[in-house]
Structure 1
Amino acid sequence: MPTADFSLLLPVYAGDDAAFVRAAFESSVDAQTLRPAEAVIVQDGPVPAALAAELDRLVAESPVPVRLVRLAENLGLAEALNRGLDAARHPVVARMDADDVSVPERFARQWELIDAGFDLVGTGMAEFESDPDRPVSVRTPPVGAERIRAHARTHNPFNHPTMMYRVAALDRVGRYEPFGKMEDYWLGVRLIDAGARVENIAEPLLRYRVGAGAFARRGGWGEARTEWRLQRELLRMGFVSAPQYARNVVMKGVYRLLPAGVKRRLFRGLISRGLPGDRA
């Protein structure tokens, strides 16, 4: 099976399911038509014995070299990803979450664009609840530099677990910074603002697992405050205008504070079709 000069980056923490981690890893390595040259698994703090044993099995059985970075403490996603970038031996990195499933041609499609000179390439993704082959919705991101930049003023233009990027481009903007659950949105905005070449593939090349609590986690005062802090940063850096800032603060703040059931209906019925790519 052919490989290319990129590293798979897979962060894992105590709350992850061992079986889901194996499925995520195998779909992103064993099953790919173009495999990564290596995989970097970052264990973010102590994990249950079953998960630790599963990580050891993946290292032993993987068809490509695996670097397992075990952090003594849980440092959070942003720092775990940065530690993984430090460990990666290749100039390009492909993100993967520990409970999602990659489509077999995902990396081959993304690598074509990276090889053509793009700095960041995302894809569409299909959400599923228990069966990856039975999606409940599809997230179609904006395509083309102008549409991506315009979309980023109101929503995350990249589905974050689908990202493939050049490490040098991230180095130029300071890599990941802690920002609640919006570190990927914040990274994407900084890359766009710095002039990075970005693109999306519209097709859903990743299956994204959503559980019963997914919409509850997207809301509450904590998430609303993070949203408002992000909007202040976008205004400060001139990425959004004052009117755009005011609209975003009101509309996105209201969304964060709605009950989970209402958010689910709105997102599935309106947002996922009218505002594609909003991963935050």
Structure 2
Amino acid sequence: MADEPFSLLLPVYFRDDPEHFRLAFKSSVLDQTRAPDEVVLVQDGPIPPALDEAISESVEASPVPVTRVRLAQNVGLAVALEKGLEACRHGIVARMDADDVSLPDRFARQLEVLATGVDIVGTGMLEFLDDTKVVSGRRVPPTGQQEIVRYSRFHDPFNHPTVVYRKAAVRKAGGYQPLGLMEDYWLFVRMIDSGAKVANLPDPLVMYRVGAGAYNRRGGLGQFRAELRLQRLMRGRGFTTRSQYARNLVTRGLYRFLPVAVRKVLYQRIIVRNVPHG
């Protein structure tokens, strides 16, 4: 049912901006036409006083209960999300990052899709640098079970900050597992491979903040090693063919070593559909 209760899972760590967090929390809780029934906020290690104050004030103003999961050390996103999932009381969980913005009807629309028997549903995103009124790009995900499965052999089929999923389907697939910046992709591959029913709404229901170092983080030796491991895992599972594996190693692997400026251009052309500023 579309009115089934759900948890909002929101991780924070020391680099998150207090004002960005306030906006993320407000947009995903106070401003929603269908608010979450609880918020599980995972604090991944020690945080600065200003961020702690922003969290405390947001929790105090929240119309729904908030559970703060405090981790003594920074353990990384995958482990933090696993800890958060353990604390979620409801069978449906919505993801949100601490620097993005949810549009008001996001959860209402995603819950309608989940009510049809889907296990995970993502949405499109609008990218912005700092001002939400100035959109720099648009990500439109693949839609329909068949197309999402096809696309997933070569690219991450979901925009991770937008997904709402059934916790049981995540558990069936083995949950989040650390893998560079690609723990979400690896989870989605395993969910699809384990029989999950998947869907995407092409409409942008989340505004994604593109930080200054976004393109730097997608490259380098560390990300190449994570990419290599991901491709080996996908091939070992039989999720990709030998030719798909080879293609991914060449295209996705070499991408990690391109100059940042070139990497940005390719990313914009392949992943993002540019829209006019304003």
Give TM-score scaled by structure 1 length. Answer: 0.95
Hey, what does 1:194 align to over in structure 2?
194
Q: Which amino acid aligns with 2:269?
A: G
For the residue of structure 2 that corresponds to 1:56, the secondary structure is helix
Hey, what does 1:46 align to over in structure 2?
46
Q: What RMSD in Å do the two structures reach over aligned CA positions? A: 1.4
Hey, what does 2:224 align to over in structure 1?
224
- Separation in 1, partners of 2:174, 2:270: 35
Once the two structures are superposed, the pairs formed by residues 1-280 of structure 1 within 5 Å of their partners are: 4-273=4-273
For the residue of structure 1 that corresponds to 2:41, the secondary structure is strand
For the residue of structure 2 that corresponds to 1:204, the secondary structure is strand
Count of aligned pairs between the two proteins: 273
**Residues 273 and 244 (structure 1), Cα distance of their counterparts in 2 relative to 1, 3 Å cut:** farther
- Separation in 2, partners of 1:213, 1:259: 13
Q: Is the 8 A contact 2:139 2:271 kept in 1?
A: no
Q: Is the 8 A contact 1:33 1:105 kept in 2?
A: yes
Identity of paired residues, percent? 55
For the residue of structure 2 that corresponds to 1:201, the secondary structure is strand
What is the CA-CA distance between 1:269 and the residue it aligns to? Answer: 3.0
Output one character per residue of 1:54-113: Cα deviation in whole Å (capped at 9) or x when no partner. 111111110111111111111110111011111111110000000000010100010001
- Separation in 2, partners of 1:155, 1:242: 16
- Separation in 1, partners of 2:102, 2:3: 16
Q: Which amino acid aligns with 2:107?
A: F
For the residue of structure 2 that corresponds to 1:36, the secondary structure is coil
Structure 2 gaps, min length 5: none
Q: Is the 8 A contact 2:28 2:102 kept in 1?
A: yes
What is the CA-CA distance between 1:4 and the residue it aligns to? Answer: 4.8
Q: Is the 8 A contact 1:4 1:37 kept in 2?
A: no
What is the CA-CA distance between 1:133 and the residue it aligns to? Answer: 2.2
Q: Which amino acid aligns with 1:238?
A: G
Q: Is the 8 A contact 1:125 1:208 kept in 2?
A: yes
Hey, what does 1:277 align to over in structure 2?
none
What is the CA-CA distance between 1:271 and the residue it aligns to? Answer: 3.7
- Separation in 2, partners of 1:225, 1:142: 27
Give TM-score scaled by structure 2 length. Answer: 0.96
- Separation in 2, partners of 1:104, 1:3: 16
Q: Is the 8 A contact 2:137 2:273 kept in 1?
A: no
What is the CA-CA distance between 1:235 and the residue it aligns to? Answer: 0.6
Q: Is the 8 A contact 2:20 2:100 kept in 1?
A: yes
- Separation in 2, partners of 1:187, 1:270: 22
- Separation in 1, partners of 2:210, 2:224: 20
Q: Which amino acid aligns with 1:145?
A: Q
- Separation in 2, partners of 1:270, 1:162: 19
Q: Which amino acid aligns with 1:262?
A: V
Q: Which amino acid aligns with 1:167?
A: K
- Separation in 1, partners of 2:10, 2:212: 23
Q: Which amino acid aligns with 1:165?
A: Y
For the residue of structure 1 that corresponds to 2:134, the secondary structure is coil
Q: Which amino acid aligns with 1:154?
A: F
- Separation in 2, partners of 1:106, 1:122: 10
Q: Is the 8 A contact 2:3 2:111 kept in 1?
A: no
Q: Is the 8 A contact 1:3 1:35 kept in 2?
A: no
